[in-house]
């Protein structure tokens, strides 16, 4: 008999109250390192800010309220590749034209949380001052090993394998053709969706181009490309320790980060500060409740180790895969506050870059930092490709 078709099942966000009691007890018993309180962010997470955040996490943060807010999105799980994959699937509201299915992929250190604010803006643009004809069906999966998706029991999946799962997921949902978008690891996954499934991906939008790989003669590169590669190298020397750990020895850090919520917060919050467009004041980009919602998702799901292992998997992707050029129509929104911002010459070298913009606000987490601006970027880029795809 043929295998039964895969059927997504509704998924309810739940938390055992005992898990919250344990979390609060650990927070109150934090053993703090001997650090100068006036160090600021110069050597990593600001000690004074982290103490303030941990105190609030223990005695002020209302996780049930934040969970209820996340639960307003329609959540599902489906078995793919032997793993239970969690995803948000929100359909367009009152569309007035063709509806484009769109799969959005997050990065690290986050989950579907990255797109929580932007989903309503994309599915119901008319309710937010935009054209109802720009409505999307939006699919936001948690990468395996992140959020509420299962983590692989064996070797971690790389971005190529995740792209294959997303192609299968979109088939399960009945979408033969669709758009793809993402940033950070999600940029890599979206890229491989376009590379390996060009007959299905009508267009791909990214907020970065990853780290540069060029095996040719440097004389072929434009001056701005050479300058960017030097900039990325310098950035890696001062800011890349986390990635080196993730790529090489992720388990060593995972023990401490899985056991200490304060340590987990320090590891994640430093990146939220350094990579956002906050100008050194993290709460210009995120409230404490928003920060702690992201960190609490990592804590309750126990996924910091599995999320870091994906760096190890991606580091083994062959160079010839990394060097492939994307021929599917590609759009890039390079936000002003992001890190390692590529020049247009590099984007055109590596992809069929039909639209490149540089929004004046927003950083690495632009869908969360500037959801209205990010939603408008997606609406504008995908508008010409709506007729090429549609929901069933």
Q: Where do the structural domains in the chain lie, given as residue ranges?
A: 17-385
Q: Is the pLDDT of residue 59 over 80?
A: yes
| Helix (H) or strand (E) segment spanning residue 275 | helix 261-275
pLDDT class of 392 with cuts at 50, 70, 90? low
How far apart, in whole angstroms, are the C-alpha atoms of residue 274 and residue 353?
28
pLDDT at position 96 is 87
**Annotation marks residue 89 as catalytic:** no
For residue range 299-322, what is the model confidence (pLDDT) as tens digits? 999 999 999 999 999 999 999 999
pLDDT at position 356 is 98
Are residues 324 and 159 in contact, defined by beta-carbon separation less than 8 angstroms?
no
How many residues are listed for the chain in this entry? Answer: 392
Please give the share of the chain, as a percent, with pLDDT higher than 70. Answer: 98
How far apart, in whole angstroms, are the C-alpha atoms of residue 112 and residue 71?
12
pLDDT class of 5 with cuts at 50, 70, 90? confident
Q: What integer best gives the mean pLDDT of the chain?
A: 95
pLDDT class of 389 with cuts at 50, 70, 90? confident
The active-site residue, picked from 184, 208, 277, 338, is: 184
For residue range 348-360, what is the model confidence (pLDDT) as tens digits? 999 999 999 999 9
The active-site residue, picked from 115, 148, 192, 311, is: 311
CA triple 257-258-261, angle to 5 deg = 70
Q: Is the pLDDT of residue 38 over 90?
A: no
Averaged pLDDT for residues 21-44: 92
For residue range 135-171, what is the model confidence (pLDDT) as tens digits? 999 999 999 999 999 999 888 999 999 999 999 999 9
The active-site residue, picked from 86, 188, 205, 364, is: 364
Averaged pLDDT for residues 44-48: 94
pLDDT at position 3 is 61
Bigger pLDDT: 269 or 37?
Answer: 269
**Annotation marks residue 311 as catalytic:** yes
Are residues 17 and 23 in contact, defined by beta-carbon separation less than 8 angstroms?
no
Question: Any residues with CB less than 8 A from the CB of 287 and at least 6 apart, and which?
Answer: none
pLDDT at position 277 is 97
Read off the pTM.
Answer: 0.96
Q: Is the pLDDT of residue 4 over 70?
A: no
Closest C-alpha to 273, from 90, 109, 78: 109
CATH fold group of domain 17-385: Rossmann fold (3.40.50)
Q: Is the pLDDT of residue 391 over 80?
A: no
Q: Is the pLDDT of residue 36 over 90?
A: no
Helices (H) and strands (E) in the chain, counts: 16, 9
Q: Is the pLDDT of residue 1 over 50?
A: no
pLDDT at position 387 is 80
Question: What radius of gyration, in Å, describes the C-alpha atoms of the chain?
Answer: 20
> In this structure, is the dihedral angle defined by the CA atoms of residues 148, 152, 153 and 155, taken in order, positive or negative?
negative
pLDDT at position 226 is 94
**Annotation marks residue 197 as catalytic:** no
How far apart, in whole angstroms, are the C-alpha atoms of residue 35 and residue 60?
25
For residue range 72-124, what is the model confidence (pLDDT) as tens digits? 999 999 999 999 999 999 999 988 889 999 999 999 999 999 999 999 999 99
For residue range 191-219, what is the model confidence (pLDDT) as tens digits? 999 999 999 999 999 999 998 888 788 88
């Amino acid at each position: 008999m043929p295998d039964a078709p895969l059927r997504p099942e509704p998924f309810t966000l739940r938390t055992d109250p005992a898990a919250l009691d344990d979390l609060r007890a650990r927070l109150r018993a934090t053993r703090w390192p001997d650090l100068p309180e006036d160090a600021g962010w110069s050597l990593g997470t600001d000690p004074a800010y982290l103490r303030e955040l941990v105190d609030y996490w223990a005695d002020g943060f209302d996780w049930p309220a934040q969970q209820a807010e996340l639960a307003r999105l329609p959540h599902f799980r489906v078995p793919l590749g032997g793993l239970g994959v969690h995803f948000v699937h929100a359909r367009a509201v009152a569309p007035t034209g063709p509806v484009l299915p769109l799969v959005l992929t997050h990065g690290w250190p986050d989950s579907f949380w990255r797109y929580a604010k932007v989903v309503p803006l994309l599915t119901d643009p008319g309710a937010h001052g935009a054209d109802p004809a720009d409505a999307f069906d939006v699919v936001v999966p948690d990468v395996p090993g992140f959020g509420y998706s299962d983590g692989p029991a064996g070797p971690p999946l790389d971005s190529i394998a995740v792209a294959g799962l997303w192609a299968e997921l979109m088939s399960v949902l009945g979408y033969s053709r669709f758009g793809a978008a993402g940033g950070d690891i999600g940029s890599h996954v979206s890229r491989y969706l376009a590379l390996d499934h060009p007959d299905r991906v009508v267009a791909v939008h990214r907020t970065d181009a990853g780290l540069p790989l060029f095996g040719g003669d440097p004389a072929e590169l434009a001056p701005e490309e050479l300058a960017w590669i030097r900039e990325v190298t310098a950035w890696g020397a001062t800011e890349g320790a986390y990635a080196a750990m993730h790529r090489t020895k992720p388990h060593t850090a995972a023990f401490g980060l899985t056991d200490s919520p304060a340590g987990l917060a320090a590891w994640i919050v430093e990146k939220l500060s350094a990579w956002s467009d906050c100008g050194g004041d993290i709460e210009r980009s995120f409230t404490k409740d928003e920060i702690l919602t992201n960190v609490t998702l990592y804590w309750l799901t126990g996924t910091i180790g599995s999320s870091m292992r994906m760096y190890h998997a991606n580091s083994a992707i062959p160079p010839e895969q990394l060097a492939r050029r994307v021929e599917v129509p590609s759009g890039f929104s390079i936000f002003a506050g992001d890190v390692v911002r590529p020049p247009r010459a590099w984007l055109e070298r590596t992809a069929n870059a039909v639209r490149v913009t540089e929004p004046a606000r927003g950083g690495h987490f632009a869908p969360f930092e500037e959801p209205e601006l990010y939603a408008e970027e997606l609406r504008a880029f995908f508008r010409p490709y709506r007729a090429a795809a549609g929901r069933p």
